[in-house]
Chains A and B, each alone.
Chain A
Amino acid sequence: MIFLRRQLPLLITLVTGLLFAGQYYVPHPASEQMLTSATKWLQIIGGFALILGVTSLFHQHAVKITRQEAGWGYSLVLYAGMLGTIAVGLWADGKEAVDGAMTAFGWVYNFMMVPLQGTMFAILAFFIASAAYRSFRARSREAAVLLVAAVIVMMGRVPLGEYLIPLSGDVSSWILNVLNSSVRRAILIGVSLGAIALSFKIIFGVERSYLGGGKE
């Protein structure tokens, strides 16, 4: 039973990991066909993974409603929004527009989802300004360097900045293309090395936290 619960999953990870890492270097048609089929399967399984993320949300708010905990009215609004959108979506066969005419599902998307999502992120503009005012202080040499670079780039990236100080455009372009790109390159290399190390740890069973589910 331990083999089925612990060792077989690790074996599956090892085999699939090595198989698909090696596949990259094998151009044989059979290898390419295996990749095509496997990635198609991965697409379908990816769809089920999306459902997984959603079920915990269902459960959390259902509990709130049944126990009538504080704020359960809002959970009711969430459920109403979700079930209403699903009903309207299934009725429209998942299409936002049919022959150029907007469906009810399209209406919900365009006049509810788009403005809600857009505005949730738009209010960040106010918070970044407030945070910049409160905490963007040149407390040290390094902070001062960060501040100066930020100001140059903010000036150089807008027409008014380039109009008032023409050099700011060229300097901000140099900062982005040379200084910034060298740092981001180093970070990219470092992070990629870390990701590869983690991938190897997962394949060889050193890292097992992804398994989750059940005891052991």
Chain B
Amino acid sequence: MTFAERMLTIDRRIIFLVIGVCTLLPLLYPVGLPIKISSEVRGVYDHIESLPEHSVFLLSIDFDPASKPELYPQAIALLRHAFKKQLRVITMTLWVSGTGMADQLVTQVAKEMGKEYGQDYAFLGWSPGGPAVIINMGQDLSSAFPSDYSGRSTKDLPVLDGVRSLKDITYMVSLGAGKPGVEEWYVFGKDKYKFEMGGGCTGVMAPGLYPLLRSGQINGLIGGLRGAAEYESLIDQKGKAVAGMDAQSATHVAIIVLVIMCNVFYFSLRQASRSQGHIG
């Protein structure tokens, strides 16, 4: 077996080890390279910056613990920004397995920013049906959510004063990891009820949402951990996303090197077999 053949059939656990080390070392010994802000993320940030105080901001936390590393930092950064701007924050989720995480996240940030439940923010919880929930909220919010997550009637919450349906929302962001997510919020929500909306999503979903961004159907897109890091930099409160960027850099470079190596060995084998074909 030639060197190239041996390298191409290397035990995959060695590759696992390389990736593990490239992820772990920058987390333990961070460098802190600067992060350029993209226009996609700036779209969401600038819009929230432009909102007057007491505008109604709806954040739909449409992900489960599987996507927590990418979307949790996005949610924290958005909530911090919204609370800083004194917006009336309504949160909810369309994913059943993300309910506990969403509740914890909202409570944690609200406590940090000194906000009062019911007055400054509310967590409506989860309701089944995905698109059906969105349409129902668009028709009559108290029909979709008769009570909030703690069981209080939504009609009694001061933060929901004057908010009868999605038409009364000033701005909405869906942080989606799949279906239902950003696309469903547009198709079943913004299309008919005409509120402004932005999106946040995992890295897997991001390329697929660019058509909506380009057409203005969403006015901004926060993509993956990188998007969360950009948002944290914009609000000047660096958190887990920025801390993870060095590890992200290292692993990307590792994968690029692995791919280049694989192609070098592949082409050298192909060259060798072609020249043997010529000789033979």
Contact = CB atoms under 8 A, between A and B. Distances in A.
Q: Is there any pair of Cβ atoms, one from A and one from B, under 8 angstroms apart in the complex?
A: yes
B18 to A, nearest CB: 8
A57 interface: no
Interface string B242-264: 00011011111111101101110
A27 B68 CA distance: 40
Contacts of A43: 127-129, 132-133, 136, 144
B210 A35 contact: no
A171 interface: no
Interface string A156-171: 0111111100000100
A56 to B, nearest CB: 18
A114 interface: yes
Interface residues of A, number: 59
A150 B263 CA distance: 14
Interface majority SS (helix, strand, loop, mixed), chain B: helix
A95 B149 CA distance: 9
A129 B258 contact: yes
B276 to A, nearest CB: 19
B14 to A, nearest CB: 9
B255 A132 contact: yes
A46 B100 contact: no
A106 B100 contact: yes
B101 interface: yes
Contact of A39 (B18, B33, B139): B139
A140 B211 CA distance: 28
A26 interface: no
Interface stretch (A66-74, A76-84, A172-180, A207-215): A172-180
Given A117-B64, A117-B65, A133 B211 contact: no
A118 interface: yes
B104 A129 contact: no
B136 A160 contact: no
Interface stretch (A4-12, A181-189, A197-205): A181-189
A130 B226 CA distance: 23
A3 interface: no
The 9 A-B residue pairs whose C-beta atoms are closest, nearest first, are: A160-B249, A159-B33, A181-B210, A46-B129, A43-B129, A42-B132, A36-B139, A46-B128, A185-B211
